[in-house]
A and B are shown apart, each in its own frame.
Chain A
Amino acid sequence: MRPSPTPLRRAARQILSSSFTTIRAAAPAHRSLSSITTTSTGSDCTCGNGRTTARRPQIQSNQNPQQQQQQRSSYHSYDHPSPPASFTPVEESILSAAYLHVPAHGFTSSALVAGARDAGYLDISPTILPEGAFTLIRYHLVKQREGLAARAREVFGGEGHVGAYKLGGLSEGEIKGRVEALMWKASREQGGYWTVAGAIMAQPSYVPPSLKELALLSDEILFLAGDSSVDPSWYTKRVSLSTIYAAAELFMTNDHSPEFMDTRAFLNRRLREVNEVGGVFRNMREWVGFTATAGVNVLRSKGVRI
Chain B
Amino acid sequence: MVARPALRRVAIPSSLRTSTTHLESRISRSPFSTTLQSRNNQKPNNNNSVPEYAIPDPARPTHFGFETVTEAEKRERVAGVFTSVAESYDRMNDLMSFGWHRVWKDHFVSSLNPGFTPLTAPGSSPLAPQHILDIAGGTGDIAFRMLHNAHVINGNQDVRVTISDINPAMLTVGKQRSSALPASQQAVLSFLEANAEDLTQTKPLGANQVGYSPTNGIPDESVDLYTVAFGIRNFSNIPAALREAYRVLKPGGVFACLEFSKADKHPLFNTIYKQWSFSAIPLIGQLVAGDRDSYQYLVESIEKFPSQEDFRDMIVDAGFVVGGKGYEDLTGGVAAIHKGMKPRRK
CA–CA, A127 to B341, complex, Å?
9
The reply to whether A117 and B224 contact each other, CB–CB distance below 8 Å, is no
B268 within 8 A of A: no
Note all chain A residues with C-beta closer than 8 A to B168: none
B65 within 8 A of A: no
A204 CB to nearest B CB, Å: 16
Note all chain A residues with C-beta closer than 8 A to B278: none
The reply to whether B118 and A114 contact each other, CB–CB distance below 8 Å, is yes
A116 within 8 A of B: yes
Note all chain B residues with C-beta closer than 8 A to A123: 116-117, 127, 130, 224
B331 within 8 A of A: no
B41 within 8 A of A: no
The reply to whether A130 and B121 contact each other, CB–CB distance below 8 Å, is no
The reply to whether A129 and B118 contact each other, CB–CB distance below 8 Å, is no
By beta carbon, the residue of chain B nearest A117 is: B123
B186 CB to nearest A CB, Å: 23
- Which residues of chain B in 305-338 are interfacial with respect to chain A, using CB atoms and an 8 Å cutoff? 321-325, 328
The reply to whether B324 and A127 contact each other, CB–CB distance below 8 Å, is no
Note all chain A residues with C-beta closer than 8 A to B215: none
Q: Mark B220-233, 1 if CB is under 8 A from A, else 0.
A: 00001100000000
The reply to whether A130 and B323 contact each other, CB–CB distance below 8 Å, is yes
Note all chain B residues with C-beta closer than 8 A to A125: 252-254, 341
Q: Which of the segments A3-11, A12-20, A105-113, A280-288 contacts the partner chain?
A: A105-113
Note all chain A residues with C-beta closer than 8 A to B343: 90
The reply to whether A130 and B252 contact each other, CB–CB distance below 8 Å, is no
A120 within 8 A of B: yes
B122 within 8 A of A: yes
CA–CA, A101 to B123, complex, Å?
12
Note all chain A residues with C-beta closer than 8 A to B113: 109, 127
- Which residues of chain B in 143-164 are interfacial with respect to chain A, using CB atoms and an 8 Å cutoff? none
The reply to whether B121 and A113 contact each other, CB–CB distance below 8 Å, is yes
CA–CA, A120 to B123, complex, Å?
12
The reply to whether A90 and B118 contact each other, CB–CB distance below 8 Å, is no
By beta carbon, the residue of chain B nearest A123 is: B117
Q: How many residues of B contact A (CB 8 A)?
A: 33
B61 within 8 A of A: no
Note all chain A residues with C-beta closer than 8 A to B325: 130
The reply to whether B344 and A127 contact each other, CB–CB distance below 8 Å, is no
CA–CA, A123 to B116, complex, Å?
7
- Which residues of chain A in 157-193 are interfacial with respect to chain B, using CB atoms and an 8 Å cutoff? none
CA–CA, A9 to B339, complex, Å?
54
The reply to whether B256 and A114 contact each other, CB–CB distance below 8 Å, is no
Partner of B121, one of A110, A124, A128, A131: A110
The reply to whether B340 and A130 contact each other, CB–CB distance below 8 Å, is no
A214 CB to nearest B CB, Å: 20
Partner of A128, one of B117, B120, B224, B340: B340
A156 within 8 A of B: no
A262 within 8 A of B: no
The reply to whether B323 and A88 contact each other, CB–CB distance below 8 Å, is yes
Note all chain A residues with C-beta closer than 8 A to B256: 127
CA–CA, A132 to B112, complex, Å?
10
The reply to whether B118 and A110 contact each other, CB–CB distance below 8 Å, is yes
Can you name 10 extra interface pairs (CB under 8 A) apart from A88-B322, A113-B121? A105-B120, A113-B118, A114-B121, A114-B122, A122-B224, A122-B254, A125-B252, A127-B256, A128-B323, A131-B324
User: Could you tell me which A residues sit within 8 Å of B by CB distance?
Assistant: 86, 88, 90-91, 101, 105, 109-110, 113-114, 116-118, 120-125, 127-132, 135
Identify 12 residue pairs between A and B in the complex whose beta-carbon atoms are under 8 Å apart, listed by A's number: A86-B324, A90-B341, A91-B323, A91-B324, A105-B118, A110-B121, A114-B122, A120-B252, A122-B224, A122-B253, A124-B252, A125-B252
